Amino acid sequence: MTGLMQAWILLSIAAAAFQTLRFMLQKHLSMGTLSTGGATLARFFYSMPFVVSMTVAYLWWSGVGLPPLSGWFWVYAMTGGLSQILATWCVVALFSQRNFAVGITFKKTEVVQTALVGLVVLGDRVSLMGLGAIVLGLAGVLILSDTPGLSGRWHRRIFNRAAGLGLAGGALFAISAVGYRGATLEIASDDPLLRALCTLAVVTTSQAVAMTIWLMWREAGQMARVWAARRTAVWMGITGLGGSLCWFTAFTLQNAAYVFAVGQVEVIFSLFASVLFFSEKLTRREGAGIALITLSVLAVALFL
C-alpha cells in the first residue's frame, strides 16, 4: 500500500507540473495566434499521435492484446472526454480576462466541486470540518471574482464572466476526472499503465476528431492556423500527453478527489509561471484569494 500511495502522489505532482507547462503554451497560442477553439483543438490534436503510438508500442512490448471495452467504459470515457473539451475551452477563454495564476486558481476549485458533486450524485457525506473547508474555498473564489475596475452594483462585481468561466471549468474538470476514473476501472487488467494508456488513447482520439469536425464547421480558418502553429503546439501535445498519462494512471490507483487534492501544487507552479514567464503581477487581494483556496483544497484533502 505504501508503494502505491507514493506512486499516486508522485504521479499527481508530475501531472500538475506537465499541466502548468501545457496551460502556459495554450495561453501563449490563444493570445492572438489561435482562437479559443483553435487552442483547445491543438491540445488534443498534437497529443493524439503520441498517445496512440505509445499505446500500440506498450501493447506490443507487453505482449497482450487490446482488452475488451465494456459499454460502461464508453459511457464513462465519452462523458469525461466531452467534459474535458468544454472545461479546457472555459479555461482558455478565462486566460484572456484574468492573469495566468488567477485563471489556474479558478480552475482548481474542481477539488471543492468534486466533494459537492459526490454529495449530490453519490450521497457521499461531508463532515462539518469538510463543510468549513468548502466555505473557505467559496470565500477565496468570491475574492478572486471581484473584478478590479468594474463599477456598479455588487452582483456585477461578483457574478461576472471570469467567475462563471472559472467555476464552470472547475466543475467540468471534476466531472471528467470521475468519468476517466470510472473508465479505467472498467478495463479488466491488473496493469494500471495499460488501463491508463487504453483509456487515454480512446479519449484523446475522440476529442481530436470531435474538435476537428466542430472547427471545420464553425471556424474553418482555424484549421490552417492550428497547423501553422505546429512548432509550438507540438510541445503542447507532448506536455498534454505527459500530464494526462500521469493523471489517468493516478486515477487507477486512488480516488480522483485525493489525486486532485495533491495536484493543488499546480497553484504554486502557476505562480512561478505567472511572474517569471508572463511578467504578471499579483495584487494583495488576488494573493489572499489564492491563499484561501489553497488552504481550502488542502483541508478538503484531509477531511474527505
Helix (H) or strand (E) holding 142: helix 128-145
Q: Which three cell numbers stand for residue 196?
A: 491508463
Count of structural domains, the chain? 1
The answer to whether 147 and 160 have CB atoms below 8 angstroms apart is yes
For residues 117 and 179, give the distance between their C-alpha atoms in angstroms, rounded to a whole number. 12
Q: What is the pLDDT of residues 150-196, one digit of tens each?
A: 445 555 555 566 667 777 888 898 888 888 888 888 888 888 889 99
pLDDT(1) > 50 = no
Cα angle for residues 102, 82, 254 (degrees, 5° grid): 70
For residues 171 and 177, give the distance between their C-alpha atoms in angstroms, rounded to a whole number. 10
Read off the pLDDT band of 58 (50, 70, 90): very high
| Domain range enclosing 50 | 2-303
The answer to whether 89 and 37 have CB atoms below 8 angstroms apart is yes
Nearest of 128, 147, 36, 108 to residue 292 by alpha carbon: 108
Q: What is the mean pLDDT of residues 84-92?
A: 82
Q: Which amino acid, residue 5?
A: M
Q: What is the pLDDT of residues 103-144, one digit of tens each?
A: 666 666 777 777 676 666 645 555 677 667 667 766 776 676
For residues 209 and 206, give the distance between their C-alpha atoms in angstroms, rounded to a whole number. 5
Cα angle for residues 301, 93, 152 (degrees, 5° grid): 90
Give the residue ranges of DSSP H helices in the chain: 2-30, 36-45, 48-62, 71-95, 100-107, 110-117, 128-145, 154-158, 161-185, 192-218, 221-228, 230-253, 256-262, 265-276, 284-303
Q: How far are the Cα atoms of 75, 135, 228, 254 from residue 81, in angstroms, in the given order?
A: 10, 29, 25, 20
**pTM of this prediction?**
0.76
3-state secondary structure of 123: coil
Read off the pLDDT band of 287 (50, 70, 90): confident
Q: How far are the Cα atoms of 38, 41, 119, 256, 260 from residue 123, in angstroms, in the given order?
A: 38, 35, 5, 16, 20
For residues 181 and 274, give the distance between their C-alpha atoms in angstroms, rounded to a whole number. 31
Q: What is the mean pLDDT of residues 74-100?
A: 81
Q: What is the pLDDT of residues 19-48, one digit of tens each?
A: 888 777 766 666 666 777 887 788 789 889
Please compute, for residue 278, the number of CA atoms within 13 A of its CA located in the half-sphere on the CB side: 26
